[in-house]
């Protein structure tokens, strides 16, 4: 599979439900409300939790003005969605094409080697994230849900956990493995173990990936995920 192959995959919007159209907004105004800061039609995670801002409707200029108030002059944040165009005065800094995948027949089972990660593990987590770049991770991201890891020789070499939490769903995120330990199936095992905990709560599983991360997407599709929709991860800067 190549990036071109991924581009030809047909999304199925009937998978899941409407809360997945903007899972960040659904999370910040729902199960993750305790982590949110909000001004009118704009909400964001507390800055040491996650870098995401969501708008009630990105087509409404008032919601962008609310976002500017929320993040302050020159503030930057990440926002996800299709067709998002910041108003005049805003700066679109970078964008990355991505995919949203949902579980249709993922095997969900605990892993005897997986350990639950906590606040004391954050320095090691941040080090692993820095070396593997699975996506944004901040000092309090671990508070968003269950994080499981695998250690070898005492060192944290792989992990996966929970991030966005729209009603009825939980996103698996921060899936990463130390390069020296790749090819052993550790990521697959951890995704399955985190998914088992999500399913035990009665939630369904989703995840997001950069479209260029062909290896990970191939693995997710082979393990029981399907493409629901394509999206764009953007970084924007408020007017100064």
Domains of the chain: 3-99+233-237 (3.40.630.30), 101-228 (3.40.630.30)
- Cα separations (Å) of 42 from 10, 24, 27? 31, 11, 13
Would the CA dihedral through 129, 209, 184, 106 be positive or negative? positive
Enter the tokens of residue 184: 């052993």
Distance between CA atoms of 20 and 231, rounded to whole angstroms?
11
- Could you tell me where the DSSP H helices lie in the chain? 3-8, 23-28, 61-71, 122-132, 186-200, 214-222
Mean model confidence pLDDT for the chain: 95
Specify the pLDDT at position 7.
75
How far apart are the two ends of the chain, measured CA to CA in Å? 43
Residue range 128-174, pLDDT digits in tens: 999 999 999 999 999 999 999 999 999 999 999 999 999 999 999 99
Specify the pLDDT at position 9.
86
6-15, 35-44, 66-75, 182-191: the lowest-pLDDT one: 6-15
Specify the pLDDT at position 1.
65
Q: Please, which pLDDT band fits residue 3 given cuts at 50, 70 and 90?
A: low
What pTM, to 2 d.p., does this model score? 0.94
Distance between CA atoms of 229 and 80, rounded to whole angstroms?
12
Q: Supply φ then ψ for residue 70, to 5 degrees.
A: -65, -45
């Amino acid at each position: 599979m190549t990036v071109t192959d991924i581009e030809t995959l047909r999304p199925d919007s009937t998978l899941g439900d409407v809360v997945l159209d903007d899972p960040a907004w659904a999370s910040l105004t729902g199960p993750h409300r305790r982590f949110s800061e909000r001004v009118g039609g704009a909400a964001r995670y507390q800055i040491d939790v996650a870098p995401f801002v969501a708008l009630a409707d990105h087509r409404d200029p008032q919601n962008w003005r609310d976002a500017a108030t929320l993040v302050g002059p020159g503030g930057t944040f990440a926002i996800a969605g299709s067709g998002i165009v910041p108003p005049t005065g805003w700066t679109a800094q970078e964008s990355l094409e991505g995919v949203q995948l949902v579980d249709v027949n993922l095997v969900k089972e605990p892993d005897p080697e997986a350990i639950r990660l906590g606040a004391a593990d954050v320095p090691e987590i941040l080090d692993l994230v820095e070396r593997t770049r699975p996506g944004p991770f901040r000092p309090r991201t671990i508070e968003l849900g269950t994080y499981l890891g695998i250690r070898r020789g005492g060192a944290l070499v792989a992990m996966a956990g929970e991030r966005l939490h729209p009603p009825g769903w939980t996103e698996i995120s921060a899936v990463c493995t130390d390069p020296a330990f790749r090819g052993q199936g550790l990521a697959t095992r951890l995704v399955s173990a985190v998914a088992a905990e999500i399913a035990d709560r009665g939630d369904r599983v989703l995840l997001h990936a950069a479209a260029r991360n062909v290896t990970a997407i191939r693995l997710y599709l082979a393990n029981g995920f399907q493409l629901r929709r394509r999206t764009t991860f953007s970084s924007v800067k408020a007017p100064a």
